[in-house]
Amino acid sequence: MENINKFKGWQMVYTAMMMEFSVVGFVFYCFPLMFSELERDLGASQSQLSGALSLFFIFSAAASIVLGRLIDKYSVKKIMTIGGVIFSLGLFSIAFIENTFSLLLIYATLLSIGGPALGNMSVTKLVANWFESKAGMALGIAAIGISFSGVILPILIDPLIDGIGWRNVYILFGSIVVLILLPTVRFVVIDTPEEIGQKKDNLETQPNVNLNTVLMDVSEFFKSKIFWIISLTFAFQFLAMGGVLLHLPLHSETIGFDNVFYFLGLPIKQNVFAYSLAAFGGVTGKILFGYLIDKLKANKPVMLMMLLQSIGIFGLTLSDSFGFFTIFCFVFGMGFGGAMVLLSACFLKAFGSVNLGSARGFSALIVVPLQPIGIFIVGKAFDLNIYIEAFLTMGAVTLIAMAIGSRIVIK
């Protein structure tokens, strides 16, 4: 019988959730809230600030090519520790920048290396090491941290930026990594259940699954049809999601949803609320699709996820009522919320936990050329005042991802 009290796998899941919350929140969800401050202090343009995240995605994906292989060969705990040190240096460094070039450089180097090493790349492998039959649900719960950061941090950080300034906010972020996240890695993370005499899922009899148990050669991934299908599906999905999500607060403000209301004594702007609501939809999506990927053939939840993202994008782009706008933000969030869960779960089902890091890392060679395009296109479209057309294009791109994802058939 499963003994939840002694099984350490769920501690790995909750630790993964904490890392995802912090890394994605500090790098992605809080960044757009600082755009006006950075434009004023650094003289940066909207497309330059969007470019910082484009560089992050490009170089973090490139770093993941090497990082994924290292995670499959060496201790996840050690890689997370090194990643945390690099990531904290990046956050502290931003607090002292004086020009846009320095911001772009930090996003392209320290954050793009330290972020995935402390966060998603490492913790996905960690969770997969501890779960098999419940891997989808475990990955979904771990990934909730990504969306919860979007729900909670914008509401907390927006008034904090006004109160202590954006530079001190980045010092706070770096301090959290050093004082909380790194000690958690040191004292909680255990690479595999075998290290302490436990088994995956805490089951004495392990499920009979047809998974690779030997580390594959690099060439084998690129000869695999399913590897290409999964990679292209999510490359187009990330392209569309990033372009819309990053610019969602600016879009809502541009169409007039910029009033302030109070909740529990906190002043909340409508555009920040919509941004957080999309992230809350992501929480729901992660739980839903984590459950569905364990129960259904992989292409079914993938297609549903893409459909929800597309409906959300078209709806939030064309809505002129704040009520409908928030509903479509939530639907959009439900869709993109399932992305990281389904990406990891599809690769896990196709190649096994032994090769998960490598599959995720090598897929970056396919994802990298496509992923930042959406952010660049929408950022440039804002500068040219044609961003509505760009948003609608992102909705159409998601439908392309849905069509490709229908071909994800894992035997």
- 264-317, pLDDT tens digit by residue? 676 777 877 887 888 889 889 988 998 999 889 999 999 999 999 999 999 999
pLDDT of residue 1: 38
pLDDT of residue 277: 84
| DSSP letter assigned to residue 31 | G
Helix (H), strand (E) at residue 146: helix 135-164
Within the chain, which residues score under 50 in pLDDT?
A: 1-4, 210
Distance, CA of 353 to CA of 50 (rounded, Å): 34
**β-strand pairing of 266-269 with 260-263:** antiparallel
Say whether 263 sits in a helix, a strand or coil.
Answer: strand
The single residue listed with the structure tokens 């401050």 is: 37
Distance, CA of 17 to CA of 120 (rounded, Å): 9
Q: Is the dihedral of CA 62, 66, 69, 73 positive or negative?
A: negative
Residue ranges with strand state E in 295-392: none
Among 390, 369, 371, smallest CA distance to 379 is for 390
Say whether 304 sits in a helix, a strand or coil.
Answer: helix
Structure tokens at 277: 């609501």
Give the type of residue at 91.
L
pTM for the whole structure:
0.77
Angle formed at CA 14 by CA 132 and CA 186, multiple of 5 degrees: 105
The single residue listed with the structure tokens 């490139």 is: 62
Distance, CA of 22 to CA of 7 (rounded, Å): 25
Given CATH 1.10.3720.10, say whether it is the number of domain 9-191+212-405.
Answer: no
Distance between the two ends of the chain, CA-based, in angstroms? 30
Structure tokens at 67: 């990082």
Residue ranges with strand state E in 27-179: none
Tally Cβ neighbours within 10 Å of residue 396: 12
Integer CA distances (angstroms), 186 to 64, 87, 121, 126, 253, in order: 22, 16, 18, 14, 42
pLDDT of residue 4: 45
pLDDT of residue 3: 46
Among 16, 317, 249, 296, smallest CA distance to 138 is for 16
Give the type of residue at 278.
A
261 - beta bridge partners? 268
